[in-house]
Amino acid sequence: MAKLYVSNKNETVRMFKSDFLEFFSRVHWTVPLYIYIPVIGYLFYVSIAYHKLAALNIFGLIIAGIFIWTLTEYTLHRFVFHFHTKSNFGQRITFMFHGVHHDYPNDTKRLVMPPSVSIPLAIGFFFLFRAILGDGIVAPFYIGFIGGYLFYDISHYAIHHFNMHGKFWLAVKNHHMLHHYQNDELGYGVSSPFWDIVFGTNFSTKTEKVENAE
C-alpha cells in the first residue's frame, strides 16, 4: 500500500515565499479558544439579556447548532478539503487548506484552522444562519455551531498529540488514524463517525481489525 504521508515528525513544508503569509499559515492549537470562547460568552449574554430566551429554548438551539456543525464538518472535509481537481491552481488551494496536513500529519502548527481561514468562514456562516433563522434565535444556535467547531479543532489536535484514554476517545482516534494511514477517501468525520455511517463512508469492522493487527 502506498504511503499516505511525507513525514510523521513535527515538521512541515514552507507554503509561501512571503514571511508574512507564511506566519499566518501556522497557528498554536490554543488560538481558536482565545478567539471564539469570548464570542460564545457574548452570544450567551445576547440570548439571555437582550432576546430574553428561556433556558430550555437556548439549550435546544445549542443542540441544533452542534448537530448542524457535525454535518458541516463532514461536508467540508469530504467535498472541500478532499476536492479532486486537475488544475494546478486548484491543487495548490486544496493543498494549503488540507493537503499539507495529510503530508505532515503531526505538524503541531498546522493542525487547527488558522484564523485567516476560520474567521471569514465563521462570519459567513453567522450571516447565513441569521438570514435563515432571524435575529431572535440565531445567537444560541450559533453558540452550538461554534462550540462544535471548537470541539472539532481541539479534539483534532488531541487525536494527533495527546494520550487518549477511554473507549470513546480511543474510537475517535482510531477512526481518524485510519483516514490518515489506510484510506483517505473514507472516515471524513473527525469529532464523530456519525455522518460516515449515514453516508456510507465509514470503515468496515474487518478493515479496522486488519489495521489494528498491523
Contact 103, 91 (CB under 8 A): no
Q: What is the pLDDT of residues 32-60, one digit of tens each?
A: 999 999 999 999 999 999 999 999 999 99
pLDDT score of 207: 52
Retrieve residue 100's grid coordinates.
499539507
For the chain, what are the domain ranges? 28-160
Q: What confidence tens digit (pLDDT) does each residue in 64-112 have?
A: 999 999 999 999 999 988 888 778 766 777 777 777 888 888 888 888 8
pLDDT, one tens digit per residue, over 133-162 is: 999 999 999 999 999 999 999 999 999 988
- Kindly state the average pLDDT of the residues 18-38: 88
H or E stretch including 93? helix 88-94
CA distances from 200 to 17, 102, 188, 204 (A): 40, 22, 11, 10
Between 62 and 164, the higher pLDDT residue = 62
Checking if the pLDDT of 210 tops 90, the result is no
Cell of 189: 468525520
pLDDT band at 2 (very low <50, low <70, confident <90, very high): low
Question: Do 9 and 105 form a contact (C-beta atoms < 8 A)?
Answer: no
Query: pTM (2 decimals)?
Result: 0.88
Question: In 89-149, where do the E strands start and end?
Answer: none
Cell numbers given for 109 = 502548527
Q: Is residue 118 scored above 80 in pLDDT? A: yes
Residue 66 pLDDT: 97
CA 201 to CA 195: how far, in whole Å?
8
Residue 5 pLDDT > 90: no
> 91, 153, 94, 100: which is closest to 122 by C-alpha?
153
Query: Between these two residues, 206 and 192, which has the higher pLDDT value?
Result: 192
pLDDT value for 214: 37
CA 54 to chain centre: 30
| Stronger pLDDT, 23 or 194, i.e. the higher one | 194
Return the pLDDT at 212. Answer: 41
Rg (CA), the chain: 18
